Copies of this chain bind each other. A is one copy, B any other.
Amino acid sequence: MKMKQNSPITMKDIARDLGVSVATVSRALKDSPRISEAKRKEIQEYARDHNFLPNVIAETLRKSRVQPNKVIGVIVPQFIHYYFASILKGVEEEASRRGYRIMVAQSDDKYEREVEICKSFYANKCCGIIVSMAKNTTKYDHFQKLIDMGIPLVFYDRICTGVNASRVVVDDYMGAYTAVTHLIDTGCRKIAYYGMVQSMEIDKNRFNGYEDALRKHGLKPNPDWLRKCDNRADAEVVTPEILAQPDHPDAFFAINDDTAIGILYSAKKMGFDVPDDISICGFTNGNRAKACNPMLTTVEQRGVMVGEEAANILIGQVEGSLPMDKVEKRVVRTRLIIRGTTR
């Protein structure tokens, strides 16, 4: 695997020659303000003097890899999860239509596994990686390295704002805003929010949508009804306590369907009628939403479309129809599915 004699200098070479990291070189060449002007100038001059050609390099790197390899690596937290299965379906279908295959792995939401998987996807010559970041990932070197090697990354669901990469998200804010507006429009005034999972972008956006919908209608959230709760077991503990109070909510908005179902059965058990006494809205629209009784009103996340968009961006970057250095941000619209738990 010999290179041509006059092969151009790479970012790695520049980094080694100047005793800095590849990430620093990359940033300097992108005019990033994250490094000092002196350093930036030094690196840029060195690159120019040594005929650094960013496109040629990227091209050479891509070609010198063992395979053109129409294989996309996909990292999901878990396969057994309706939303992630939907995303896989969307990625695979778009990939398949365009002649690509997918390699998949579960991070189990663990940083260490995520790093391992990135390495092994690289070793397996994946042409790009679609990933939802693990919950406890706080260092991004493994992502930056891939980008530096010319491997495009596309984030979905839990996006990484620490690297310069494309992303596909659903409009969590609008999803929550529309759902809570529906609760208000159908006569609910005292609306509780279950979620409040710290450090999750999607929770923040959904909470803001909830809050803004209330404000828009002259209502204020009752702090006692904002609960840290994102699963059924917890909802079955928290809900009876809230509903036992004389002044209790007439509606609940939950961060996912599982939690909403916990609220539903807790309320019914206490003798409340759903939706006449209590309205409930979830978020996901998985299989569970139609299995409960009454069927759940919920915000559909459209995972298949998220997966398709992610594959679409990635393949565009691999094939050159989308520029590698431009961050593509796409938003997939959620959709309120009105069923039996709201009036």
A21 lies within 8 A of chain B by Cβ:
no
Indicate if the CB atoms of B102 and A104 lie closer than 8 Å.
yes
- A62 → chain B, closest Cβ, in Å? 11
Known contacts being A124-B101, A288-B287, A293-B293, is A92 close to B67, with CB within 8 Å? no
Q: Which of A33-41, A81-89, A161-169 contacts B (4 or more CB under 8 A)?
A: A81-89
Indicate if the CB atoms of A71 and B125 lie closer than 8 Å.
no
A244 lies within 8 A of chain B by Cβ:
no
Residue of B nearest to A292 (CB): B291
Complexed CA–CA distance, A119 and B87 (Å): 24
Interface residue count for A (Cβ, 8 Å)? 44
Residue of B nearest to A125 (CB): B67
Q: Mark A58-94, 1 if CB is under 8 A from B, else 0.
A: 0011001011000100000011111001101100110
Q: Mark A1-37, 1 if CB is under 8 A from B, else 0.
A: 1110001001001000000000000000000000000
- A14 → chain B, closest Cβ, in Å? 13
Residue of B nearest to A68 (CB): B123
For A85, list chain B residues within 8 Å (CB): 79-81, 85
A137 lies within 8 A of chain B by Cβ:
no
For A92, list chain B residues within 8 Å (CB): 79, 104-106
A278 lies within 8 A of chain B by Cβ:
no
Q: Mark A84-125, 1 if CB is under 8 A from B, else 0.
A: 011011001100100001111110000000000000110011
Copies in the complex: 2
Contact of A89 among B60, B80, B120 (CB under 8 A): B80
- A271 → chain B, closest Cβ, in Å? 15
For A265, list chain B residues within 8 Å (CB): 293
Complexed CA–CA distance, A286 and B85 (Å): 14
For A82, list chain B residues within 8 Å (CB): 80, 287
A80, A102, A265: residue with the most chain B Cβ atoms closer than 10 Å:
A80
A129 lies within 8 A of chain B by Cβ:
no
Known contacts being A104-B104, A124-B101, A287-B288, is A79 close to B88, with CB within 8 Å? yes
Complexed CA–CA distance, A13 and B286 (Å): 53
For A88, list chain B residues within 8 Å (CB): 79, 104
Contact of A292 among B78, B81, B124, B292 (CB under 8 A): B292
Indicate if the CB atoms of B89 and A96 lie closer than 8 Å.
no
List residues 257-277 of chain A with CB under 8 A from any CB of chain B.
261, 265, 268
- A237 → chain B, closest Cβ, in Å? 17
Known contacts being A79-B89, A101-B124, A104-B104, is A291 close to B261, with CB within 8 Å? yes
For A93, list chain B residues within 8 Å (CB): 106
Residue of B nearest to A81 (CB): B85
Question: Can you list 10 A-B pairs with a CB-CB distance of less than 8 A?
Answer: A1-B60, A67-B124, A79-B79, A79-B86, A80-B85, A92-B104, A92-B106, A102-B104, A288-B288, A288-B291
Beyond the given pairs A78-B89, A289-B291, 6 more chain A to chain B contacts, judged by CB atoms under 8 angstroms and listed by A's residue number, are A2-B10, A80-B82, A92-B104, A101-B105, A101-B120, A261-B291
